[in-house]
Amino acid sequence: MSDSTAPSQIETIKSGYGFNGAALDLGAAVADGTAYPDAKVRLPLSMMNRHGLVAGATGTGKTKTLQLMAEQLASNGVPVFLADIKGDLSGIATAGEPNDKITARAKDIGEDWQPQAFSTEFLSLGGQGKGVPVRATITSFGPTLLSKVLGLNETQESSLGLIFHYADSRGLTLLDLKDLQAVIGYLTSDEGKADLKGLGGLSSATAGVILRQLIAFSDQGADVFIGEPEFDTADLLRTTPDGKGVITCLELPGVQDKPALFSTFLMWLLADLFHDLPEVGDVDKPKLVFFFDEAHLLFNDASTAFLQSIEQTVRLIRSKGVGIFFVTQTPKDVPNDILAQLGNRVQHALRAFTPDDAKALKATVSTFPKSDYDLTQLLTQLGIGEAVVTVLSESGAPTPVAWTRMIAPRSLMAPSPEATVDQIVSASSLQGKYGQAVDRESAYEMLNAKLQGAPAPAPGDPAAPAPAQPPAQAAKPEPGMVQQVVQSTAFKSMMRSAGTALGREITRSIFGTARRRR
């Protein structure tokens, strides 16, 4: 931008971001390296459920932008969900520490920076890390998401869907991995094969692949968070007594080497929210804003059906008052059909060291409205904590592209002290609800006897199987858990029965996820 166009561009930004309603303050507009404190770059609160993208190379300030947005959403009474993959977002629960850089930036962009801590809830997958344990049952997770995390091909995914359909229609509650293994074992037995003849059957080879992948899934720690008590996503929608939004931070450092696991679990949370929340249409502020960090991991190696389900969820969940912000390195990490639905863009610096980088840069520039900035040059020269921003105005039209010097978060821009996190977790009201794992009798003849009111086999009864054990890693001469279950008289009798009222209560949503009627 030349000196002659700078004043004109700044006036355009002032006009384009002068919203009447509540808005998040992102920073001040910049021209020729100079910040203009009176040219505020803002994001309307009413447009936060139109979804968005926060992108940029590693180390350019994406995490701090998440922190800044989460703080202001909470201050406006909006609950926030953050996935903390690297373990550096826990600082949002601790007041920030002033220093020369923060003071200089605040003065530069005309902000009165004051340290502040925010009401935060820490969760962790099955207790792997610091936080209240989060779990989900197999039946709620559903076949589509489970196929993604197991790495199944389309044929195997179709077969897994058939297995879930059979269990649903027969009232078989799939709570943990042992339950699913038991049903697969039955359906490949001589007696069980007949039950699937009219539905296409289940080949032994496909069943073997699924069972092996389930064992590998268990070895990754899945058995810790697959089970009960199942997390109720309504607990993400809480506010404090004084009306501030609660920031829920899912701690994921313990599973960061299992990307398919945590990215798919995050999608389960979204799918469950979609399943449960009522339609609200356009609202003055969202009911929840969900930040999906490392979003590219969700889309890697995803099937066409899986991507279509994500697109449908993103498109429809807006009307339920939920905003989704995908966080990744470049817009090309997000499929075009989904990217087209992300109306709010905060693009930090990109690198152009390789031909692939240059292609990504060109593709990123093409996603922005036309502006007076030379975005191809600017995006490679942005400083840390600077971004190119365009959002949806209150009327739904894109705002002018604005080179923005971002506001520093008011909370700690580093992990909170361990003692602080421990204190928050131990004092959480969710500990009593989710803190202790529940291991109900889940062999089918015992579990379904309890749920359907049928008498359970007595401990000394020959039909009663041995207590269920985790899958054995090596073959043993005595019958395994699955064999014990499928060979029991009680199990065979139950599997022959017609679908029950319990089974009819299961309805599956976009991703095949399910939650029994509460």
Write out the CATH class of domain 7-135+229-433: alpha beta
Between 359 and 199, the more confident residue is: 359
Residue 515 has pLDDT above 80, yes or no: no
Residue 297 has pLDDT above 60, yes or no: yes
CA 83 centroid distance within chain: 7
pLDDT digit string, tens, across residues 108-149:
999 999 999 999 999 998 878 889 999 998 988 889 889 888
Between 118 and 281, the more confident residue is: 118
Average pLDDT, rounded, for the chain: 83
Strand-pairing partners, residue 29, are 36, 404
> What whole-number percentage of the chain has pLDDT above 90?
52
pLDDT digit string, tens, across residues 446-492:
434 533 454 544 544 444 444 444 444 434 444 454 455 445 554 44
pTM of the model: 0.85
CA distance 218 to 223: 5
Between 285 and 352, the more confident residue is: 285
pLDDT digit string, tens, across residues 1-33:
445 567 888 999 999 999 999 999 999 999 999
Q: Which region among 42-51, 141-150, 256-265 has the lowest average model confidence (pLDDT)?
A: 256-265
Amino acid at 159: S
> Parallel, antiparallel, or unpaired for β 386-390 and 344-347?
antiparallel
Residue 285 has pLDDT above 80, yes or no: yes
Which pLDDT does position 140 carry in this prediction? 87
Intervals of CATH 3.40.50.300 along the chain: 7-135+229-433
Residue 183's CB: how many other CB atoms inside 10 A? Answer: 24
Between 241 and 282, the more confident residue is: 241
Which pLDDT does position 433 carry in this prediction? 95
Q: What are the backbone angles phi and psi of residue 48, rounded to the nearest 5°?
A: -70, -20
Which pLDDT does position 465 carry in this prediction? 41
204 burial via Cβ count (<10 Å: 0-12, 13-18, 19+) = exposed
Q: Which of the given ranges, 57-61, 242-246, 435-439, 443-447, has the highest pLDDT on average?
A: 242-246
As a 3-state breakdown, the chain gives helix, strand, coil percent values, each rounded to 5, of 45, 15, 40
What's the length of the chain? 518
Residue 498 has pLDDT above 60, yes or no: no
